[in-house]
Amino acid sequence: MTSARRFRVVSSDPVADYGFFTMDNVRVEAPDGSRAERFAIRHPGAAAVVAIDGDDVVLVEQYRAPIDRAILEIPAGKLDADDTDPAAAAARELEEETGYRARSLTPLIAIHTAVGFADEVIHIYLAKGLSAGEAMPDGIEEQWASIRRVPLSIAVAMVEDGRITDAKTVAGLLMAARMI
Protein backbone atom coordinates (compact mmCIF):
# COMPACT_ATOMS: atom_id res chain seq x y z
CA MET A 1 0.00 0.00 0.00
CA THR A 2 2.92 2.40 0.35
CA SER A 3 3.06 3.05 -3.40
CA ALA A 4 -0.55 4.28 -3.35
CA ARG A 5 0.47 7.04 -0.97
CA ARG A 6 2.86 8.44 -3.54
CA PHE A 7 0.15 9.14 -6.09
CA ARG A 8 -0.52 12.83 -6.42
CA VAL A 9 -3.21 14.94 -8.00
CA VAL A 10 -1.63 17.07 -10.71
CA SER A 11 -4.80 19.03 -11.50
CA SER A 12 -8.52 18.95 -10.94
CA ASP A 13 -10.88 20.92 -13.17
CA PRO A 14 -14.64 21.25 -12.86
CA VAL A 15 -16.52 19.66 -15.76
CA ALA A 16 -20.16 20.00 -14.72
CA ASP A 17 -22.34 21.26 -11.88
CA TYR A 18 -25.51 19.29 -11.27
CA GLY A 19 -26.79 21.14 -8.22
CA PHE A 20 -25.98 19.03 -5.21
CA PHE A 21 -22.98 17.34 -6.82
CA THR A 22 -20.32 18.29 -9.33
CA MET A 23 -18.04 16.39 -11.68
CA ASP A 24 -14.31 17.08 -11.91
CA ASN A 25 -11.69 15.95 -14.39
CA VAL A 26 -8.80 14.81 -12.18
CA ARG A 27 -5.29 14.20 -13.48
CA VAL A 28 -3.09 12.02 -11.28
CA GLU A 29 0.55 11.05 -11.35
CA ALA A 30 1.70 7.58 -10.29
CA PRO A 31 4.91 6.90 -8.33
CA ASP A 32 6.74 6.10 -11.59
CA GLY A 33 5.72 9.43 -13.16
CA SER A 34 3.03 8.03 -15.45
CA ARG A 35 -0.17 10.01 -15.60
CA ALA A 36 -3.85 9.19 -15.87
CA GLU A 37 -7.06 11.12 -16.22
CA ARG A 38 -10.08 10.26 -14.05
CA PHE A 39 -13.51 11.74 -13.51
CA ALA A 40 -14.70 12.28 -9.96
CA ILE A 41 -18.16 13.04 -8.61
CA ARG A 42 -17.89 15.54 -5.75
CA HIS A 43 -20.72 15.03 -3.29
CA PRO A 44 -21.45 17.00 -0.09
CA GLY A 45 -21.91 13.80 1.93
CA ALA A 46 -24.96 12.29 3.53
CA ALA A 47 -26.38 10.99 6.78
CA ALA A 48 -28.42 7.84 7.36
CA VAL A 49 -30.22 6.24 10.27
CA VAL A 50 -30.81 2.70 11.47
CA ALA A 51 -33.94 3.42 13.51
CA ILE A 52 -34.73 0.68 16.04
CA ASP A 53 -38.10 0.44 17.76
CA GLY A 54 -38.38 -2.62 19.97
CA ASP A 55 -37.19 -5.52 17.82
CA ASP A 56 -38.00 -3.70 14.56
CA VAL A 57 -35.96 -1.54 12.25
CA VAL A 58 -37.76 1.20 10.33
CA LEU A 59 -37.07 0.99 6.60
CA VAL A 60 -38.22 3.04 3.64
CA GLU A 61 -39.23 1.42 0.37
CA GLN A 62 -38.86 3.91 -2.43
CA TYR A 63 -38.26 4.11 -6.16
CA ARG A 64 -34.71 4.81 -7.34
CA ALA A 65 -34.35 5.96 -10.96
CA PRO A 66 -30.74 4.77 -11.52
CA ILE A 67 -31.81 1.15 -10.97
CA ASP A 68 -35.42 1.67 -12.13
CA ARG A 69 -37.05 -0.06 -9.19
CA ALA A 70 -38.12 0.36 -5.60
CA ILE A 71 -35.63 -0.69 -2.97
CA LEU A 72 -35.63 -1.06 0.82
CA GLU A 73 -33.35 1.42 2.57
CA ILE A 74 -32.64 3.01 5.88
CA PRO A 75 -33.76 6.68 5.97
CA ALA A 76 -31.03 8.92 4.55
CA GLY A 77 -30.34 12.16 2.78
CA LYS A 78 -27.59 14.45 1.64
CA LEU A 79 -25.96 17.02 3.85
CA ASP A 80 -27.15 20.53 3.08
CA ALA A 81 -24.75 23.46 2.75
CA ASP A 82 -25.47 24.56 6.33
CA ASP A 83 -25.12 21.06 7.84
CA THR A 84 -22.04 21.01 10.04
CA ASP A 85 -23.27 18.12 12.17
CA PRO A 86 -24.17 14.92 10.30
CA ALA A 87 -26.14 13.75 13.37
CA ALA A 88 -28.50 16.71 13.00
CA ALA A 89 -28.95 15.84 9.32
CA ALA A 90 -29.64 12.23 10.28
CA ALA A 91 -32.32 13.32 12.76
CA ARG A 92 -33.85 15.59 10.11
CA GLU A 93 -33.95 12.83 7.50
CA LEU A 94 -35.46 10.32 9.93
CA GLU A 95 -38.31 12.69 10.75
CA GLU A 96 -38.76 13.89 7.17
CA GLU A 97 -38.96 10.40 5.65
CA THR A 98 -40.68 8.44 8.43
CA GLY A 99 -42.17 10.90 10.91
CA TYR A 100 -40.14 9.33 13.74
CA ARG A 101 -38.01 11.30 16.18
CA ALA A 102 -35.24 9.64 18.13
CA ARG A 103 -34.34 10.20 21.76
CA SER A 104 -30.74 9.17 20.99
CA LEU A 105 -28.46 8.92 17.98
CA THR A 106 -25.24 6.93 18.24
CA PRO A 107 -22.63 6.92 15.47
CA LEU A 108 -22.29 3.49 13.84
CA ILE A 109 -19.93 3.98 10.90
CA ALA A 110 -19.00 6.35 8.09
CA ILE A 111 -18.62 4.77 4.66
CA HIS A 112 -17.34 5.84 1.27
CA THR A 113 -20.03 4.68 -1.14
CA ALA A 114 -18.25 4.40 -4.48
CA VAL A 115 -14.56 5.32 -4.29
CA GLY A 116 -13.98 4.41 -7.93
CA PHE A 117 -15.81 7.54 -9.08
CA ALA A 118 -17.17 9.54 -6.12
CA ASP A 119 -16.01 11.11 -2.86
CA GLU A 120 -19.37 10.72 -1.07
CA VAL A 121 -19.22 9.79 2.61
CA ILE A 122 -22.35 8.64 4.42
CA HIS A 123 -22.43 8.98 8.21
CA ILE A 124 -24.66 6.23 9.63
CA TYR A 125 -26.28 6.46 13.05
CA LEU A 126 -28.24 4.15 15.33
CA ALA A 127 -31.48 5.78 16.48
CA LYS A 128 -33.31 4.59 19.59
CA GLY A 129 -36.15 5.84 21.74
CA LEU A 130 -38.42 6.54 18.79
CA SER A 131 -41.60 8.55 19.00
CA ALA A 132 -44.02 8.61 16.09
CA GLY A 133 -44.99 11.74 14.24
CA GLU A 134 -45.95 12.75 10.75
CA ALA A 135 -43.58 12.31 7.81
CA MET A 136 -42.78 15.35 5.67
CA PRO A 137 -41.84 13.85 2.30
CA ASP A 138 -39.50 15.90 0.15
CA GLY A 139 -39.51 15.02 -3.52
CA ILE A 140 -41.55 12.74 -5.72
CA GLU A 141 -39.90 9.48 -4.61
CA GLU A 142 -40.48 10.19 -0.91
CA GLN A 143 -44.11 11.14 -1.58
CA TRP A 144 -44.71 7.66 -2.99
CA ALA A 145 -42.47 5.82 -0.51
CA SER A 146 -43.79 3.42 2.09
CA ILE A 147 -42.52 2.84 5.60
CA ARG A 148 -41.83 -0.78 6.51
CA ARG A 149 -41.09 -2.07 9.98
CA VAL A 150 -39.11 -5.29 9.87
CA PRO A 151 -37.60 -7.24 12.77
CA LEU A 152 -33.86 -6.47 12.76
CA SER A 153 -33.02 -10.19 12.58
CA ILE A 154 -35.19 -10.52 9.44
CA ALA A 155 -33.61 -7.39 7.91
CA VAL A 156 -30.15 -8.91 8.46
CA ALA A 157 -31.37 -12.14 6.82
CA MET A 158 -32.59 -10.01 3.90
CA VAL A 159 -29.06 -8.62 3.56
CA GLU A 160 -27.60 -12.13 3.67
CA ASP A 161 -29.95 -13.51 1.00
CA GLY A 162 -29.66 -10.49 -1.31
CA ARG A 163 -33.09 -8.92 -0.86
CA ILE A 164 -31.50 -5.79 0.65
CA THR A 165 -28.61 -4.56 -1.50
CA ASP A 166 -28.31 -0.82 -0.86
CA ALA A 167 -24.75 -0.26 0.45
CA LYS A 168 -25.58 2.18 3.26
CA THR A 169 -28.41 -0.07 4.41
CA VAL A 170 -26.25 -3.20 4.34
CA ALA A 171 -23.50 -1.48 6.35
CA GLY A 172 -25.92 0.13 8.79
CA LEU A 173 -27.96 -3.00 9.47
CA LEU A 174 -24.91 -5.20 9.98
CA MET A 175 -23.29 -2.67 12.32
CA ALA A 176 -26.52 -2.19 14.29
CA ALA A 177 -27.03 -5.93 14.66
CA ARG A 178 -23.50 -6.19 15.99
CA MET A 179 -24.08 -3.43 18.56
CA ILE A 180 -27.46 -4.57 19.85
For the annotated catalytic residues, the residue numbers are 141
Spatial distance between the Cα atoms of 115 and 64, rounded to a whole number of angstroms: 20
Amino acid at the residue 127: A
Amino acid at the residue 104: S
Strands (E), the chain: 8-17, 22-29, 35-42, 46-53, 56-64, 69-73, 76-78, 101-112, 121-131, 146-151
Closest CA to 40 of 58, 27, 51: 27
How far out from the chain centre does Cα 170 lie? Answer: 10
One-character DSSP codes across 44-69:
--EEEEEEEETTEEEEEEEEEGGGTE
Task: Give Dmax over CA atoms of the chain in angstroms.
Answer: 58
Query: Quick one: DSSP state of residue 163?
Result: S
